[in-house]
Structure 1
Amino acid sequence: MQVEIKIDSSYTEPKVLILTNAVTDDVNNIVKRISECTPQIISGSKDEKIEVLEQAELIRIYAGAGKVFAVTNRGEYTLRLRLYEVEERLNPEQFIRISNSEIINLKQVCNFDLSFTGTICVKLSNGTTTYVSRRYVSKIKKLLGI
């Protein structure tokens, strides 16, 4: 694959042009990645007020009692989205699902404790301890290079 960048002051925003002889899986993946680059807003409610939550501030997002919650250093917020909808909006290089009901921010992880048999204990920056479900253990180990 060849990559070429042309600087032209007549363009007010970046333009991507793909030249190819056929639409392949690689081309589809490139288009998908480029179109996903736009950050999507996540808003949460707390004390009857709605706030826009910055992805970098999120520590964990989890489902419980039929609701979805986002935890930041400023507190816990209730989201109006389902967990899979939140996951679609999050940066996949920064967030990872650790169970069917929880997603964590990798940049807010203090450590992973692998001493537990069959699971992984995760200590987060706010002092919260959570666990990777057995179904997601291999995914986390692969991420950690183990």
Structure 2
Amino acid sequence: MEVEMKIINDLKPNTVLLGFKKRNEQINQIIAYIENHDQTVIGKENGKNRLLHLSDCFSFFTSQKSVYVNNVSLSQPIKINDRLYTLQEKLPKQFIRISNTEIINLNYVQEFEISKSGIILIHFRNHYQTSSSRRYLKAIKERIL
């Protein structure tokens, strides 16, 4: 396979553009690697920066005008410097926005439950529970169905 690289300045941040004549197994493996490459986010804990792998993060949420991350290896959420809307743009496709205040990692979801009022209750494998707003209901259904 011949590899050619070209810097394209008008692409969105963290975007890779691939060109190929025909999609095959080798191309699929390259795409899977790029999509699933373990990215990180920096959190602040006790005044120190802490590098967190996105594969260990199961939700990002806002509280009191700050953004926090829930991580499987931490007992308490920790603060991050990113804004939720910027996170949404750069997170891999397994993350989905479920409300104005929360983004979740679908890899950690155990089940979805629809309440009588139409809100989706989301149960995680680690017993964490949250809910989506009705505004995001359509996007969630399209993603999981």
Residues in 2 aligned to 1:126 and 1:116: alpha-carbon distance in whole angstroms: 24
Aligned runs of 1:1-146 on 2, under 5 Å? 6-7=1-2, 14-15=3-4, 33-34=16-17, 41-75=40-74, 76-91=77-92, 93-145=93-145
Structure 1 residue 46: Cα displacement: 1.2
Is 61-70 or 41-50 further displaced after alignment?
41-50
Shift of 1:87: 1.6
Check conservation: 1:62, 1:70, Cα contact below 8 A. Answer: yes
Distance (Å, rounded) in 2 between the aligned partners of 1:88 and 1:82: 10
Give the C-alpha shift of residue 39 in structure 1. 6.8
Q: 3-state DSSP class of the match of 2:116?
A: coil
Which amino acid is the alignment partner of residue 46 of structure 2? D
| CA–CA distance in structure 2, aligned partners of residues 138 and 34 of structure 1 | 29
Partner SS state of residue 42, structure 2: strand
What is the rounded CA distance, in whole Å, between the counterparts of 1:68 and 1:126 in structure 2?
21
SS at match of 2:17: helix
How much does 1:58 deviate? 0.3
Q: Quick check: 2:39–2:54 contact (8 Å CA) kept in 1? A: no
User: What is the aligned length?
Assistant: 121
Q: CA deviation at 1:144?
A: 2.0
Q: Which runs of 5+ in 1 are unaligned?
A: 1-5, 8-13, 18-27
> 1:68–1:82: 8 Å Cα contact kept in structure 2?
yes
Are the equivalent residues in 2 in contact too, given 1:42–1:86 (CA < 8 A)?
no
Query: Kindly tell me: are residues 39 and 129 of structure 1, through their superposed partners in 2, closer, same or farther at Cα, counting changes over 3 Å?
Result: closer
Give the secondary-structure state (helix, strand or coil) at the position aligned to 1:127: coil
Percent of counterpart pairs with the same letter?
Answer: 29
SS class of match (1:140): helix
Scaled by the length of structure 2, what TM-score is found? Answer: 0.72
C-alpha separation in 2, matches of 1:73 and 1:139: 25
The higher radius of gyration belongs to 1
Encode CA deviations 1:80-132: one digit per residue, 9 max, x unaligned. 111111222210x2100000110000001111002433210001122111111
